[in-house]
Amino acid sequence: MGIFSGTGDTGETSILNRQRVSKNDPIIHFTGVCDELNAHLGLVKAMFPGEDTRRFFIEEIQKKLMKLMSHASDPANEEYFLSEDEVSVLEKEIARLSEQLPKQQFVLPGHSITEAQIHIARTVARRTERLFFAANEERRLCPKAGAYLNRLSDYLFVLSQQEF
């Protein structure tokens, strides 16, 4: 089987539940930016040394993003729903990382390549959150997914403020 099918040449694509949708559908925009965020997080993950626990934490986030993409493409399948526990894990890590942070109003990215890349991922996470809510207006999606994406950008902010 080849990498291309030609079925998307007219501006439509199939989503996981086999429904055909416009490539301009909010679900496609949301899954596309999830994919972009996942790639940025992959770069961040690669910047941490082999056994650094942040690598494993980010990889778990990447798995949740894959789950969210599946959910958006098959919103009736509860197997892809995010749970309160998944949101809580991010909240606990945010609280842990925040303990050492000084009070700041504005942050100017660019102190290191790693810190700058985390800020890029953070801004893409914010866009992902906005597109999630746009897609949610079209199709009812998992309520915890919006909370998860909101916490994700917060997590990336506090992660960017750590020592590298």
> How many domains in the chain?
1
**Contact 24/32 with Cβ under 8 angstroms?**
no
**Contact 159/75 with Cβ under 8 angstroms?**
no
Closest alpha carbon to 34 in 117, 113, 127: 127
Residue 89 domain boundaries: 21-160
- Give pLDDT, residue 146: 96
Residue 6 included in any domain: no
Residue 48's CATH number = 1.20.1200.10
Global pTM exceeds 0.95: no
Residue 37 included in any domain: yes
> Which two structure tokens, joined as six digits, stand for 41?
């997080």
What's CA 81's distance to the chain center, in Å?
A: 14
Residue 2 included in any domain: no
Residue 85 included in any domain: yes
- Give pLDDT, residue 1: 58
> Which two structure tokens, joined as six digits, stand for 47?
């910047």
- Give pLDDT, residue 100: 82
- Residue-wise pLDDT tens for the chain (164 aa)? 577 777 677 788 888 887 888 889 999 999 999 999 999 999 999 999 888 999 999 999 999 999 999 999 998 898 999 999 999 999 999 999 999 887 777 888 999 999 999 999 999 999 999 999 999 998 899 989 999 999 999 999 999 999 87
**Contact 20/13 with Cβ under 8 angstroms?**
yes
> Which two structure tokens, joined as six digits, stand for 66?
């894959």
Residue 10 included in any domain: no
